[in-house]
Amino acid sequence: MTADGLRIGICGLGTVGSGVVNIFNSHGGLIRQRCGVDLRLTHIGARRDNPDCDLASYRVSRDIFEVVRDPDVDIVVELIGGTTVARQLVMEALEQGKHVVTANKALLAEHGNELAAMAEQRGRALRFEAAVAGGIPVIKTLRESLAANVVSGVVGIINGTGNFILTEMASAGRSFEDVLAEAQALGYAEADPTFDVDGTDAAHKLVILSSLAFGVPLDKDGPFTEGIDRVAPEDLEFARELGYRIKHLGIARRQQAGLDLRVHPALVPEHRQLSQVDGVLNAVMIEADAVGELMLTGPGAGSLPTASAVCGDLVDLGRTLAGITGDPVPILGIPTADLTAQPLLSPDAVTCPWYLRLVASDRPGVMAEITRLLGDSGISIESLIQRPPQGDASHVSVVMLTDRVSGGQIGSAVAEIEMLSALKGGVTTLRVENFEEA
């Protein structure tokens, strides 16, 4: 910070970086007015220009590290993604005495403890509102607005691509591959959509949310993770018939025995607000003791929504830094030395109702055998649908909703059912999230 104000350098000029430049180009005056200091974009690091934004007013370097080493930059905005060069970049920025704003959830989930501690030691800020749920201000809500609450749970739809794919498959009966190709064409999905599809991206975000909610270190391997690729079009149809929608959820709950951290598709009752959050929208529901239950919803990705969160961090930081050194807001809500690991629950121990779907020979005794195997494992069936699969009169599709049982109980019963010769293929298992106490 100089008498001239705060100067910002951006590294990376893709979807989010160009959005930040566009917001500064159109709202620079408003931002300075709201910030109270002269917050100014000065230096852009980009390997190439981006036709979506005008760089005429800025210094541009093809080497992003020139931004980090520029003595005329006070805040470095890391928007390159990935975890290797991005880690190097953020570390060097902090070493150079810069404050850092990032949208990079993978970097935080993997190296966040190290980077937060380093920023803290050097009295520098590390802000990351855009890293979770894009434009939704969930980080600030958890870290600051709910600072007086004990948070018991955070449940959310935190990957827009996954939600778009499930919504389209459910409403238009389209195949997974077809919708994924459209999501890529529309720019929702990454060129390599693996992390969107296999749940890794949502798991990274859940790691960040659970650290803020429960005061635990960031642990990228913490959450049990399943992707949307295990959901077939017929599961979406059967779920609807049973009064549910299938959503890909991130769930972080504080239980007596430890933390329950999970990312997986789940059946959500259709009367719950969360089940109505469609398309690329995200939603995060927070359960906390003083405030009760609240839900934030909005665009979880995209150029301007994500840039809005980045710029919000910059304004906040500008206000905080005016006249002082160091960020008085602890990066993870509490000093990093006070972050304390807690035991994690095994998914086998966590209970919930389950959705089971299988295809079996349509002959007498088969259903009785399946229900006996479930009964032997202490599992009761709450609802059942039975119907022939299309074009196959000799088999029957069976869908069951069970009572609340543990993952371990379901796993062993399903292993036995899958040994029956009458079964065609495996058993699809999906959890039901009905927001009732375990």
Ligand X SMILES: NC(=O)c1ccc[n+]([C@@H]2O[C@H](COP(=O)([O-])OP(=O)(O)OC[C@H]3O[C@@H](n4cnc5c(N)ncnc54)[C@H](OP(=O)(O)O)[C@@H]3O)[C@@H](O)[C@H]2O)c1
Binding site for ligand X (CB under 6 A): 12-17, 46-48, 64, 79-82, 85, 103-105, 130, 134, 301-302, 306
Cβ neighbors of 426 (< 8 A, separation 6 or more) are: 358, 418
Estimate to the nearest angstrom the gap between the alpha carbon of 224 and the chain centroid.
Answer: 13
Task: Clarify whether 424 is annotated catalytic.
Answer: no
Strand pairing report for 59-61 and 75-78: unpaired
Can you tell me the distance from the alpha carbon of 11 to that of 65, in angstroms, rounded to the nearest whole number?
Answer: 8
Q: List Cβ<8 Å contacts ≥24 apart for 88-92.
A: 89/11, 89/64, 89/65, 90/115, 90/126, 91/115, 91/118, 92/65, 92/68
Minimal distance, residue 300 CB to ligand X, in Å: 7
Residue with tokens 């058993």: 427
Can you tell me the distance from the alpha carbon of 223 to that of 207, in angstroms, rounded to the nearest whole number?
Answer: 7
Amino acid 256 reads Q
Residue with tokens 């665009």: 299
Can you tell me the distance from the alpha carbon of 250 to that of 225, in angstroms, rounded to the nearest whole number?
Answer: 9
Cβ atoms of residues 31 and 315 within 8 Å? yes
Residue with tokens 């190097």: 88
Cβ neighbors of 130 (< 8 A, separation 6 or more) are: 16, 102, 103, 306, 307, 309, 310, 313
Cβ atoms of residues 77 and 102 within 8 Å? yes
Closer to ligand X by CB, 105 or 124: give it.
Answer: 105
Closer to ligand X by CB, 14 or 326: give it.
Answer: 14
Minimal distance, residue 50 CB to ligand X, in Å: 7
Cβ atoms of residues 145 and 312 within 8 Å? no
Given 105, 140, 205, 220, the catalytic residue:
205
Cβ atoms of residues 354 and 432 within 8 Å? yes
Helix or strand (DSSP H, E) at 166: helix 160-172
Minimal distance, residue 321 CB to ligand X, in Å: 23
Can you tell me the distance from the alpha carbon of 17 to that of 58, in angstroms, rounded to the nearest whole number?
Answer: 13
Closer to ligand X by CB, 48 or 271: give it.
Answer: 48
Cβ atoms of residues 99 and 320 within 8 Å? no
Q: Which residues are catalytic?
A: 205
